[in-house]
Amino acid sequence: MEYIIFLRVVHIVCAVIWAGGMIYLAAFVVPAAKALGPDGAKFIQKLSGTNTLPFIMNGAALLSIVTGILLMQKLLGGIQLVFRSSHGIIIFIGALLALIGFFVGFSINLPAARRMSAIGKKLAASGAQPDSSQFEELQRLKSKSFTATNIIAILLFASLVLMSIVKYY
């Protein structure tokens, strides 16, 4: 029983960190960065390249997913039994939304952040301003990353809503 309590605590805390962080980024940080123009791009590069935000967000996401799978296995009797109740179906849909959000972040945001960081480091080392192709690439990556962040935030918000109401079904 203590095992289940431990899994639930880790799952909920990590889900709150992950979803809350993404919703905060989408609702406040991204719009502020957009309003700052080129300085906003520098801020986002600094945020994703030199602090622990990506590590914490990815770690919380992975722990949330792993503990969620373990909880589904333990409490619902495995994936094959999930579809036998409305409770299981709601849990499955919430989990699927979170997994899609994780995939979007891992396949779009992570590579974009790494590339923006690499360009920023190259420019900082040379002391030069971005040339037109670098500027265009940074703008494209920024736009792609901002859009993906909004999508992830919406998916995680929907997942949180489903997981919070499942007890009543």
**Cβ contacts of residue 92 below 8 Å, gap of 6+?**
72, 79, 82, 83
pLDDT at 49: 67
pLDDT at 92: 92
pLDDT at 120: 81
pLDDT at 160: 96
pLDDT at 75: 84
pLDDT at 50: 66
pLDDT lower than 70: segments of the chain = 49-51
Domain segments of the chain: what residues? 2-168
pLDDT at 147: 95
